[in-house]
Amino acid sequence: MRVTFVAEAYESLGIEYLSSSLKNAGHFVSLVYDPKLFYDAFCRISWINKKYFSENTLIDRIAATAPDIVAFSVMSETFNWSRDIAAKVKDRLNTPIIFGGIHATTCPEQVLEEECIDIVCIGEGEAAFVELANRFDRLHRINLQGIKNLFFKSNSEIIRNPAGFILDDLDKLANPDKQLFIHEAPHMAKRYYIMTSRGCPYTCSFCYNSTLEDKKKYIRKRSVANVIGELKWALKSGIRYSYVIFGDDTFIQNKKWLSDFLEVYRIEINKPFVCAVHPRQLDRDTLNLLKISGCTDIEIGIQTLNQSIRSNVLNRPESNEEIMRAMKLVKESGIRLIVDHIGGLPGESIEDYEKAVVEYKRYRPNFIAFFWLAFYPKTKILKNCCKSNILSENALEGIYRGKGIDGKGGYNIVRMEYVGFEFIFALIPILPDFILRIIIKHKLYRLIKKRMVGMMVIFPRLIRSIIDLNFNPFFRHISRYADFFYYMHINTKRKDKIL
Ligand code: SF4
Protein backbone atom coordinates (compact mmCIF):
# COMPACT_ATOMS: atom_id res chain seq x y z
CA MET A 1 0.00 0.00 0.00
CA ARG A 2 1.16 3.55 -0.71
CA VAL A 3 0.63 5.81 2.31
CA THR A 4 1.12 9.58 2.12
CA PHE A 5 1.30 11.54 5.34
CA VAL A 6 0.61 15.26 5.27
CA ALA A 7 2.12 17.37 8.06
CA GLU A 8 2.73 21.00 8.89
CA ALA A 9 5.30 23.05 10.79
CA TYR A 10 6.92 20.52 13.15
CA GLU A 11 8.60 17.14 13.18
CA SER A 12 6.07 14.52 14.26
CA LEU A 13 7.49 11.59 16.17
CA GLY A 14 4.06 9.94 15.87
CA ILE A 15 4.25 9.99 12.07
CA GLU A 16 7.86 8.75 12.16
CA TYR A 17 6.83 5.72 14.25
CA LEU A 18 3.89 4.99 11.97
CA SER A 19 6.14 5.28 8.95
CA SER A 20 8.78 2.85 10.23
CA SER A 21 6.09 0.34 11.26
CA LEU A 22 4.49 0.55 7.81
CA LYS A 23 7.80 0.32 5.95
CA ASN A 24 8.84 -2.71 7.99
CA ALA A 25 5.60 -4.37 6.96
CA GLY A 26 6.49 -3.77 3.30
CA HIS A 27 4.46 -0.64 2.51
CA PHE A 28 5.52 2.59 0.81
CA VAL A 29 5.43 5.82 2.76
CA SER A 30 5.77 9.45 1.63
CA LEU A 31 5.53 12.73 3.46
CA VAL A 32 4.26 15.99 2.07
CA TYR A 33 5.31 18.72 4.44
CA ASP A 34 4.24 22.35 4.72
CA PRO A 35 6.69 24.13 7.04
CA LYS A 36 4.25 27.02 7.64
CA LEU A 37 7.22 29.33 7.30
CA PHE A 38 6.97 32.34 9.61
CA TYR A 39 3.31 31.64 10.03
CA ASP A 40 2.06 30.24 13.32
CA ALA A 41 0.53 31.40 16.60
CA PHE A 42 3.46 33.73 17.28
CA CYS A 43 4.27 35.18 13.92
CA ARG A 44 1.94 35.67 10.98
CA ILE A 45 3.68 36.75 7.81
CA SER A 46 1.59 34.88 5.30
CA TRP A 47 3.35 35.83 2.04
CA ILE A 48 6.60 33.98 2.83
CA ASN A 49 4.94 30.60 3.17
CA LYS A 50 2.53 31.23 0.32
CA LYS A 51 5.47 32.06 -1.95
CA TYR A 52 6.67 28.45 -1.68
CA PHE A 53 3.71 26.45 -0.42
CA SER A 54 0.34 27.33 -1.86
CA GLU A 55 -2.39 24.81 -1.14
CA ASN A 56 -2.50 23.91 -4.84
CA THR A 57 1.23 23.10 -4.82
CA LEU A 58 0.65 20.92 -1.79
CA ILE A 59 -2.19 19.02 -3.47
CA ASP A 60 -0.01 18.57 -6.58
CA ARG A 61 2.73 17.13 -4.40
CA ILE A 62 0.30 14.77 -2.67
CA ALA A 63 -1.05 13.65 -6.04
CA ALA A 64 2.49 13.03 -7.29
CA THR A 65 3.01 10.43 -4.56
CA ALA A 66 0.10 8.38 -6.05
CA PRO A 67 -1.31 7.50 -2.63
CA ASP A 68 -3.68 4.67 -1.84
CA ILE A 69 -4.51 6.45 1.41
CA VAL A 70 -3.71 9.94 2.74
CA ALA A 71 -3.07 10.29 6.48
CA PHE A 72 -3.04 13.24 8.89
CA SER A 73 -1.99 13.30 12.54
CA VAL A 74 -3.82 16.25 14.08
CA MET A 75 -3.78 18.37 17.17
CA SER A 76 -6.76 20.65 17.72
CA GLU A 77 -4.83 23.62 16.32
CA THR A 78 -3.94 21.83 13.10
CA PHE A 79 -7.34 20.29 12.49
CA ASN A 80 -8.84 23.13 10.42
CA TRP A 81 -5.91 23.27 8.03
CA SER A 82 -5.71 19.47 7.75
CA ARG A 83 -9.43 19.14 7.06
CA ASP A 84 -9.23 21.79 4.29
CA ILE A 85 -6.34 19.98 2.63
CA ALA A 86 -8.13 16.64 3.06
CA ALA A 87 -11.23 18.04 1.33
CA LYS A 88 -9.16 19.19 -1.64
CA VAL A 89 -7.38 15.82 -1.81
CA LYS A 90 -10.74 14.06 -1.79
CA ASP A 91 -12.03 16.23 -4.64
CA ARG A 92 -8.97 15.62 -6.75
CA LEU A 93 -7.97 12.01 -5.99
CA ASN A 94 -10.94 10.45 -4.21
CA THR A 95 -8.58 8.35 -2.05
CA PRO A 96 -9.49 7.23 1.47
CA ILE A 97 -8.50 9.76 4.14
CA ILE A 98 -7.50 8.77 7.69
CA PHE A 99 -7.10 11.11 10.66
CA GLY A 100 -5.28 10.24 13.88
CA GLY A 101 -3.56 12.19 16.66
CA ILE A 102 -4.83 13.80 19.84
CA HIS A 103 -7.74 15.74 18.36
CA ALA A 104 -9.05 12.74 16.42
CA THR A 105 -8.66 10.56 19.51
CA THR A 106 -10.63 12.88 21.77
CA CYS A 107 -13.49 13.62 19.35
CA PRO A 108 -13.63 10.85 16.73
CA GLU A 109 -17.36 11.21 16.08
CA GLN A 110 -17.14 14.91 15.21
CA VAL A 111 -14.08 14.30 13.03
CA LEU A 112 -15.89 11.55 11.11
CA GLU A 113 -18.83 13.87 10.50
CA GLU A 114 -16.57 15.76 8.09
CA GLU A 115 -17.50 14.53 4.64
CA CYS A 116 -13.93 14.16 3.41
CA ILE A 117 -12.71 12.01 6.34
CA ASP A 118 -13.33 8.28 6.08
CA ILE A 119 -11.40 6.71 8.96
CA VAL A 120 -10.28 7.84 12.41
CA CYS A 121 -7.58 6.16 14.45
CA ILE A 122 -7.97 6.60 18.19
CA GLY A 123 -4.98 6.28 20.51
CA GLU A 124 -1.74 4.66 19.41
CA GLY A 125 -1.83 3.85 15.73
CA GLU A 126 1.18 1.72 14.82
CA ALA A 127 -0.51 -1.69 14.99
CA ALA A 128 -3.87 -0.46 13.66
CA PHE A 129 -2.35 1.27 10.63
CA VAL A 130 -0.19 -1.73 9.71
CA GLU A 131 -3.21 -4.01 9.96
CA LEU A 132 -5.19 -1.59 7.77
CA ALA A 133 -2.42 -1.49 5.16
CA ASN A 134 -2.02 -5.28 5.19
CA ARG A 135 -5.71 -5.69 4.38
CA PHE A 136 -5.49 -3.46 1.32
CA ASP A 137 -6.09 -5.79 -1.60
CA ARG A 138 -5.35 -5.73 -5.31
CA LEU A 139 -8.75 -4.26 -6.05
CA HIS A 140 -7.90 -1.38 -3.73
CA ARG A 141 -10.44 -2.52 -1.13
CA ILE A 142 -9.83 -2.44 2.60
CA ASN A 143 -11.89 -4.44 5.05
CA LEU A 144 -11.72 -2.40 8.25
CA GLN A 145 -14.06 -4.57 10.30
CA GLY A 146 -12.55 -5.55 13.64
CA ILE A 147 -9.31 -3.53 13.43
CA LYS A 148 -8.93 -2.24 16.95
CA ASN A 149 -8.67 1.54 17.44
CA LEU A 150 -10.35 2.38 14.11
CA PHE A 151 -13.69 4.13 13.62
CA PHE A 152 -14.93 4.46 10.06
CA LYS A 153 -17.90 5.31 7.89
CA SER A 154 -19.81 2.64 6.04
CA ASN A 155 -22.87 3.77 4.02
CA SER A 156 -22.99 6.96 6.15
CA GLU A 157 -23.10 4.92 9.32
CA ILE A 158 -20.22 5.19 11.82
CA ILE A 159 -18.69 1.82 12.71
CA ARG A 160 -16.80 1.85 15.99
CA ASN A 161 -14.29 -0.94 16.34
CA PRO A 162 -13.19 -1.52 19.94
CA ALA A 163 -10.22 0.36 21.36
CA GLY A 164 -7.43 -1.93 22.34
CA PHE A 165 -3.99 -1.61 20.83
CA ILE A 166 -1.68 -0.32 23.54
CA LEU A 167 1.82 -1.59 23.11
CA ASP A 168 3.03 -2.97 26.47
CA ASP A 169 6.67 -3.15 25.51
CA LEU A 170 7.90 0.02 23.78
CA ASP A 171 11.18 -1.73 22.93
CA LYS A 172 9.24 -3.65 20.28
CA LEU A 173 8.76 -0.49 18.22
CA ALA A 174 11.05 -0.01 15.24
CA ASN A 175 13.24 3.08 15.37
CA PRO A 176 11.29 6.11 14.14
CA ASP A 177 11.69 6.98 10.48
CA LYS A 178 13.66 10.20 11.02
CA GLN A 179 14.67 10.50 7.39
CA LEU A 180 11.06 11.11 6.43
CA PHE A 181 11.22 14.63 7.91
CA ILE A 182 14.94 15.21 7.45
CA HIS A 183 14.52 14.70 3.72
CA GLU A 184 12.00 17.55 3.71
CA ALA A 185 13.72 19.75 6.29
CA PRO A 186 17.44 18.96 6.62
CA HIS A 187 17.92 21.34 9.59
CA MET A 188 15.95 18.83 11.70
CA ALA A 189 19.02 16.56 11.65
CA LYS A 190 20.85 19.06 13.87
CA ARG A 191 18.95 17.96 16.94
CA TYR A 192 17.62 14.54 17.74
CA TYR A 193 14.09 14.45 19.13
CA ILE A 194 13.41 11.25 21.08
CA MET A 195 11.04 9.89 23.71
CA THR A 196 12.16 7.30 26.24
CA SER A 197 8.64 6.75 27.56
CA ARG A 198 4.96 7.20 26.85
CA GLY A 199 2.41 8.49 29.35
CA CYS A 200 2.56 10.82 32.33
CA PRO A 201 1.58 10.01 35.93
CA TYR A 202 0.03 13.46 36.51
CA THR A 203 -3.42 14.69 35.52
CA CYS A 204 -3.16 18.45 35.03
CA SER A 205 -6.65 19.65 34.15
CA PHE A 206 -5.61 21.52 30.99
CA CYS A 207 -3.65 18.62 29.55
CA TYR A 208 -4.66 15.75 27.32
CA ASN A 209 -3.55 13.42 30.11
CA SER A 210 -6.61 14.48 32.13
CA THR A 211 -8.82 12.87 29.48
CA LEU A 212 -7.44 9.38 30.03
CA GLU A 213 -9.31 7.09 32.37
CA ASP A 214 -7.17 4.09 33.26
CA LYS A 215 -3.95 6.11 33.19
CA LYS A 216 -1.62 3.48 34.60
CA LYS A 217 -1.66 1.31 31.49
CA TYR A 218 -0.43 4.25 29.37
CA ILE A 219 2.71 4.77 31.43
CA ARG A 220 5.55 2.81 29.86
CA LYS A 221 9.31 3.18 29.69
CA ARG A 222 11.80 1.92 27.14
CA SER A 223 14.86 0.01 28.30
CA VAL A 224 18.20 1.79 28.60
CA ALA A 225 19.69 -0.44 25.90
CA ASN A 226 16.85 0.31 23.51
CA VAL A 227 17.14 4.11 23.84
CA ILE A 228 20.93 4.08 23.57
CA GLY A 229 20.60 1.71 20.61
CA GLU A 230 18.39 4.22 18.79
CA LEU A 231 20.75 7.13 19.46
CA LYS A 232 23.71 5.11 18.16
CA TRP A 233 21.74 3.83 15.18
CA ALA A 234 20.87 7.42 14.23
CA LEU A 235 24.54 8.44 14.23
CA LYS A 236 25.50 5.37 12.24
CA SER A 237 22.77 6.06 9.70
CA GLY A 238 24.21 9.51 9.04
CA ILE A 239 22.08 11.77 11.22
CA ARG A 240 24.82 14.02 12.59
CA TYR A 241 22.86 15.56 15.44
CA SER A 242 24.66 17.91 17.77
CA TYR A 243 22.26 17.73 20.71
CA VAL A 244 19.34 15.63 21.93
CA ILE A 245 15.84 16.69 22.97
CA PHE A 246 14.22 14.22 25.35
CA GLY A 247 10.56 14.88 24.67
CA ASP A 248 9.21 12.83 27.60
CA ASP A 249 6.51 14.48 29.68
CA THR A 250 8.57 13.80 32.81
CA PHE A 251 12.05 12.64 31.87
CA ILE A 252 13.39 12.06 35.40
CA GLN A 253 10.39 10.20 36.83
CA ASN A 254 12.20 6.90 37.35
CA LYS A 255 15.45 7.72 39.20
CA LYS A 256 16.98 4.25 38.97
CA TRP A 257 16.38 4.17 35.21
CA LEU A 258 17.77 7.68 34.88
CA SER A 259 20.96 6.85 36.71
CA ASP A 260 21.52 3.67 34.68
CA PHE A 261 20.73 5.47 31.46
CA LEU A 262 22.93 8.51 32.01
CA GLU A 263 25.88 6.34 32.97
CA VAL A 264 25.77 4.71 29.52
CA TYR A 265 24.77 7.94 27.76
CA ARG A 266 27.87 9.76 29.01
CA ILE A 267 30.15 7.07 27.61
CA GLU A 268 28.42 6.10 24.40
CA ILE A 269 26.61 9.24 23.20
CA ASN A 270 28.06 12.18 25.12
CA LYS A 271 26.01 14.95 23.50
CA PRO A 272 24.36 17.92 25.20
CA PHE A 273 20.67 17.43 25.85
CA VAL A 274 17.53 19.18 27.07
CA CYS A 275 14.55 17.69 28.94
CA ALA A 276 11.29 18.54 30.73
CA VAL A 277 10.66 17.63 34.38
CA HIS A 278 8.00 18.00 37.05
CA PRO A 279 9.13 20.31 39.89
CA ARG A 280 8.33 17.65 42.49
CA GLN A 281 10.90 15.29 41.01
CA LEU A 282 13.93 17.56 41.29
CA ASP A 283 16.62 17.14 43.91
CA ARG A 284 20.26 18.11 44.10
CA ASP A 285 21.65 14.64 43.33
CA THR A 286 19.51 14.27 40.22
CA LEU A 287 20.55 17.71 39.01
CA ASN A 288 24.23 16.90 39.54
CA LEU A 289 23.77 13.73 37.56
CA LEU A 290 21.99 15.58 34.75
CA LYS A 291 24.65 18.28 34.69
CA ILE A 292 27.64 15.94 34.44
CA SER A 293 25.82 13.97 31.75
CA GLY A 294 25.44 16.99 29.46
CA CYS A 295 22.05 18.48 30.35
CA THR A 296 22.03 22.13 29.24
CA ASP A 297 18.36 23.11 29.66
CA ILE A 298 15.59 21.96 31.97
CA GLU A 299 11.99 22.91 31.35
CA ILE A 300 9.63 23.02 34.33
CA GLY A 301 5.88 23.53 34.17
CA ILE A 302 5.02 26.08 36.85
CA GLN A 303 1.90 27.53 35.19
CA THR A 304 0.95 29.90 38.03
CA LEU A 305 2.36 31.03 41.36
CA ASN A 306 -1.09 31.18 42.90
CA GLN A 307 -1.02 27.89 44.81
CA SER A 308 -4.76 27.69 45.30
CA ILE A 309 -5.49 28.13 41.56
CA ARG A 310 -2.72 25.69 40.68
CA SER A 311 -4.24 23.08 42.95
CA ASN A 312 -7.98 23.70 42.48
CA VAL A 313 -8.12 24.80 38.86
CA LEU A 314 -5.11 23.07 37.31
CA ASN A 315 -5.10 19.96 39.51
CA ARG A 316 -1.38 20.27 40.17
CA PRO A 317 -0.42 19.10 43.66
CA GLU A 318 2.96 20.82 44.16
CA SER A 319 3.28 23.64 46.68
CA ASN A 320 4.88 27.03 46.04
CA GLU A 321 7.75 25.98 48.34
CA GLU A 322 8.44 22.97 46.14
CA ILE A 323 8.41 25.16 43.06
CA MET A 324 10.76 27.79 44.51
CA ARG A 325 13.07 25.06 45.70
CA ALA A 326 13.09 23.45 42.24
CA MET A 327 13.91 26.78 40.54
CA LYS A 328 16.66 27.52 43.08
CA LEU A 329 18.25 24.08 42.66
CA VAL A 330 18.27 24.31 38.86
CA LYS A 331 19.85 27.76 38.93
CA GLU A 332 22.51 26.56 41.40
CA SER A 333 23.29 23.57 39.20
CA GLY A 334 24.30 25.81 36.28
CA ILE A 335 21.71 24.24 33.98
CA ARG A 336 19.58 26.75 32.08
CA LEU A 337 16.09 27.04 33.53
CA ILE A 338 13.04 27.32 31.28
CA VAL A 339 9.65 27.71 32.93
CA ASP A 340 6.19 27.36 31.43
CA HIS A 341 3.60 29.85 32.66
CA ILE A 342 -0.09 29.95 31.74
CA GLY A 343 -1.98 33.23 31.63
CA GLY A 344 -5.73 33.80 31.66
CA LEU A 345 -6.56 31.23 34.35
CA PRO A 346 -10.04 31.43 35.92
CA GLY A 347 -9.94 33.34 39.23
CA GLU A 348 -6.64 35.15 38.63
CA SER A 349 -6.09 38.76 39.61
CA ILE A 350 -3.54 41.39 38.66
CA GLU A 351 -1.79 40.73 42.01
CA ASP A 352 -1.07 37.16 40.89
CA TYR A 353 0.80 38.47 37.87
CA GLU A 354 2.70 41.04 39.92
CA LYS A 355 3.65 38.36 42.44
CA ALA A 356 4.84 36.11 39.63
CA VAL A 357 7.11 38.90 38.30
CA VAL A 358 8.61 39.35 41.79
CA GLU A 359 9.23 35.61 42.26
CA TYR A 360 10.60 35.02 38.78
CA LYS A 361 12.83 38.07 39.24
CA ARG A 362 14.30 36.36 42.30
CA TYR A 363 15.17 33.10 40.51
CA ARG A 364 15.75 34.52 37.03
CA PRO A 365 14.71 31.69 34.72
CA ASN A 366 16.66 31.88 31.48
CA PHE A 367 13.43 31.79 29.59
CA ILE A 368 9.74 32.08 30.51
CA ALA A 369 7.45 30.42 28.00
CA PHE A 370 4.16 32.22 28.45
CA PHE A 371 0.97 30.67 27.03
CA TRP A 372 -2.64 31.76 27.26
CA LEU A 373 -4.85 29.03 28.69
CA ALA A 374 -6.08 26.80 25.87
CA PHE A 375 -9.19 24.64 26.07
CA TYR A 376 -8.94 21.24 24.44
CA PRO A 377 -11.65 18.60 23.97
CA LYS A 378 -12.56 16.46 26.99
CA THR A 379 -10.01 18.05 29.34
CA LYS A 380 -11.08 18.54 32.95
CA ILE A 381 -10.63 22.30 32.79
CA LEU A 382 -12.95 22.47 29.78
CA LYS A 383 -15.65 20.56 31.64
CA ASN A 384 -15.27 22.74 34.74
CA CYS A 385 -15.32 26.00 32.77
CA CYS A 386 -18.47 24.91 30.95
CA LYS A 387 -20.16 24.11 34.27
CA SER A 388 -19.32 27.57 35.58
CA ASN A 389 -20.43 29.25 32.31
CA ILE A 390 -16.98 30.61 31.50
CA LEU A 391 -17.37 29.04 28.06
CA SER A 392 -20.49 29.24 25.96
CA GLU A 393 -22.22 26.35 24.17
CA ASN A 394 -20.97 27.81 20.88
CA ALA A 395 -17.39 27.85 22.08
CA LEU A 396 -17.72 24.24 23.24
CA GLU A 397 -19.12 23.19 19.89
CA GLY A 398 -16.22 24.97 18.12
CA ILE A 399 -13.67 23.18 20.31
CA TYR A 400 -15.07 19.73 19.53
CA ARG A 401 -15.46 20.48 15.84
CA GLY A 402 -11.86 21.66 15.51
CA LYS A 403 -12.86 25.25 14.82
CA GLY A 404 -11.70 26.59 18.17
CA ILE A 405 -13.37 29.07 20.49
CA ASP A 406 -13.34 31.86 17.94
CA GLY A 407 -14.39 29.73 14.97
CA LYS A 408 -11.02 30.41 13.34
CA GLY A 409 -8.96 27.70 15.02
CA GLY A 410 -7.96 29.61 18.20
CA TYR A 411 -8.24 27.61 21.42
CA ASN A 412 -7.16 30.17 23.98
CA ILE A 413 -8.70 33.28 25.44
CA VAL A 414 -6.34 36.25 25.57
CA ARG A 415 -7.19 38.40 28.59
CA MET A 416 -6.42 41.91 27.39
CA GLU A 417 -6.22 43.30 30.93
CA TYR A 418 -3.16 41.12 31.54
CA VAL A 419 -1.63 41.36 28.09
CA GLY A 420 1.24 43.60 29.25
CA PHE A 421 2.59 40.75 31.37
CA GLU A 422 3.23 38.64 28.28
CA PHE A 423 5.85 41.22 27.38
CA ILE A 424 7.16 41.68 30.92
CA PHE A 425 7.58 37.92 31.43
CA ALA A 426 9.55 37.70 28.20
CA LEU A 427 11.85 40.45 29.48
CA ILE A 428 12.40 39.14 33.04
CA PRO A 429 15.52 37.17 32.06
CA ILE A 430 17.22 40.27 30.66
CA LEU A 431 15.97 43.34 32.56
CA PRO A 432 17.83 44.57 35.66
CA ASP A 433 16.02 44.28 39.02
CA PHE A 434 15.50 47.99 39.46
CA ILE A 435 13.66 48.35 36.15
CA LEU A 436 11.36 45.44 36.97
CA ARG A 437 10.70 47.05 40.39
CA ILE A 438 9.78 50.36 38.70
CA ILE A 439 7.50 48.54 36.25
CA ILE A 440 5.60 46.86 39.08
CA LYS A 441 5.58 49.89 41.41
CA HIS A 442 4.16 52.24 38.76
CA LYS A 443 2.11 49.53 37.07
CA LEU A 444 3.76 50.35 33.76
CA TYR A 445 2.50 47.07 32.28
CA ARG A 446 -0.80 48.93 31.82
CA LEU A 447 0.82 50.94 29.04
CA ILE A 448 0.74 47.84 26.86
CA LYS A 449 -2.82 47.47 25.72
CA LYS A 450 -2.37 45.49 22.57
CA ARG A 451 -0.66 42.24 21.67
CA MET A 452 2.35 43.04 19.51
CA VAL A 453 3.56 39.55 19.05
CA GLY A 454 6.85 40.39 17.36
CA MET A 455 7.88 42.86 20.05
CA MET A 456 6.41 40.96 22.96
CA VAL A 457 7.49 37.46 22.21
CA ILE A 458 10.05 37.14 19.47
CA PHE A 459 12.36 40.07 20.17
CA PRO A 460 13.01 39.36 23.89
CA ARG A 461 13.54 35.65 23.14
CA LEU A 462 15.99 36.46 20.41
CA ILE A 463 17.96 38.79 22.70
CA ARG A 464 18.02 36.15 25.43
CA SER A 465 19.18 33.49 23.01
CA ILE A 466 22.01 35.71 21.79
CA ILE A 467 23.11 36.55 25.33
CA ASP A 468 23.12 32.85 26.25
CA LEU A 469 24.70 31.87 22.96
CA ASN A 470 21.97 29.28 23.04
CA PHE A 471 19.26 29.07 20.47
CA ASN A 472 17.55 26.05 21.94
CA PRO A 473 14.70 27.80 23.78
CA PHE A 474 14.10 30.05 20.81
CA PHE A 475 14.11 27.04 18.58
CA ARG A 476 11.96 24.82 20.74
CA HIS A 477 9.17 27.22 21.44
CA ILE A 478 8.57 29.31 18.42
CA SER A 479 10.53 27.64 15.64
CA ARG A 480 11.72 30.91 14.10
CA TYR A 481 15.25 29.56 14.14
CA ALA A 482 14.02 26.48 12.29
CA ASP A 483 12.04 28.70 9.92
CA PHE A 484 15.17 30.62 9.09
CA PHE A 485 17.09 27.47 8.22
CA TYR A 486 14.21 26.12 6.20
CA TYR A 487 13.89 29.40 4.35
CA MET A 488 17.58 29.25 3.42
CA HIS A 489 17.20 25.60 2.44
CA ILE A 490 14.31 26.13 0.03
CA ASN A 491 15.99 29.20 -1.42
CA THR A 492 19.07 27.11 -2.18
CA LYS A 493 16.91 24.40 -3.72
CA ARG A 494 15.14 27.01 -5.78
CA LYS A 495 18.44 28.32 -7.10
CA ASP A 496 19.39 24.75 -8.03
CA LYS A 497 16.04 24.47 -9.79
CA ILE A 498 15.20 21.39 -7.73
CA LEU A 499 11.96 22.87 -6.52
S1 SF4 B 1 2.87 17.04 34.01
FE2 SF4 B 1 2.82 17.84 31.91
S3 SF4 B 1 2.38 16.08 30.60
FE4 SF4 B 1 1.88 15.50 32.71
S5 SF4 B 1 -0.31 15.89 32.93
FE6 SF4 B 1 0.78 17.73 33.62
S7 SF4 B 1 0.95 19.04 31.82
FE8 SF4 B 1 0.39 16.99 31.11
34-70, pLDDT tens digit by residue? 887 777 655 667 777 777 777 888 899 999 999 999 9
CA 94 to ligand 1 center in whole angstroms: 39
Residue 16 has pLDDT above 90, yes or no: yes
State in Å: Cα 488 to ligand 1 middle: 35
Distance CA 395, CA 3 (A): 35
Does pLDDT of 92 surpass 90?
yes
Distance 287 CA to ligand 1 centre (A): 20
More confident residue, 304 or 410: 304
pLDDT by residue (tens digit) across 153-179?
988 899 999 987 788 899 999 999 999
The answer, yes or no, to whether any atom of ligand 1 lies below 6 A from the CB of 249, is yes
Distance 76 CA to ligand 1 centre (A): 17
Residue 479 confidence (pLDDT): 52
Instruction: Evaluate: CB of 277 within 6 angstroms of ligand 1.
Output: no
Does the Cβ of 40 fall within 6 Å of ligand 1?
no
Q: What is the pLDDT of residue 151?
A: 95
Region 201-225: mean pLDDT is: 88
Over residues 418-440, the pLDDT tens digits come to 888 988 888 888 889 999 999 99
Find the range with the poorest average confidence among 52-56, 185-189, 338-342, 448-452: 448-452
The whole-number average pLDDT for the span 337-342 is 93
Ligand 1: which residue has its CA nearest to atom 8?
A: 207
- Is the model's pLDDT at 203 over the cut of 60? yes
Which band of pLDDT confidence, cut at 50, 70 and 90, is reported for residue 463? low
Å from CA of 266 to ligand 1 middle: 28
Percent of the chain with pLDDT over 90: 60
Q: Is the pLDDT of residue 493 over 80?
A: no
- Section 139-153 average pLDDT: 86
Q: Tell me: pLDDT of 469 over 60.
A: no
Q: Which residue out of 102, 195, 202 has the highest number of ligand 1 atoms within 8 Å of its CB and is therefore the one to mutate?
A: 202
Averaged over 304-321, what is the pLDDT? 95
pLDDT at 218 over 80: yes
Residue 245: the pLDDT is 93
How much is the pLDDT for 442?
92
Q: Note whether 266 and 293 are within 8 A (CB).
A: yes
Q: What is the mean pLDDT of residues 23-39?
A: 89
Chain center to CA of 443: 34
Residue 193: the pLDDT is: 94
Write down all domains in the chain, each with its CATH number in brackets. 2-168+482-498 (3.40.50.280), 171-473 (3.80.30.20)
**What is the best residue among 106, 198, 200, 322 to mutate for testing ligand 1's pocket, by most ligand atoms within 8 Å of CB?**
200
Q: Is 338 near ligand 1, meaning CB less than 6 Å away?
A: no
76 CB within 6 A, ligand 1: no
- The pLDDT value given to residue 329: 96
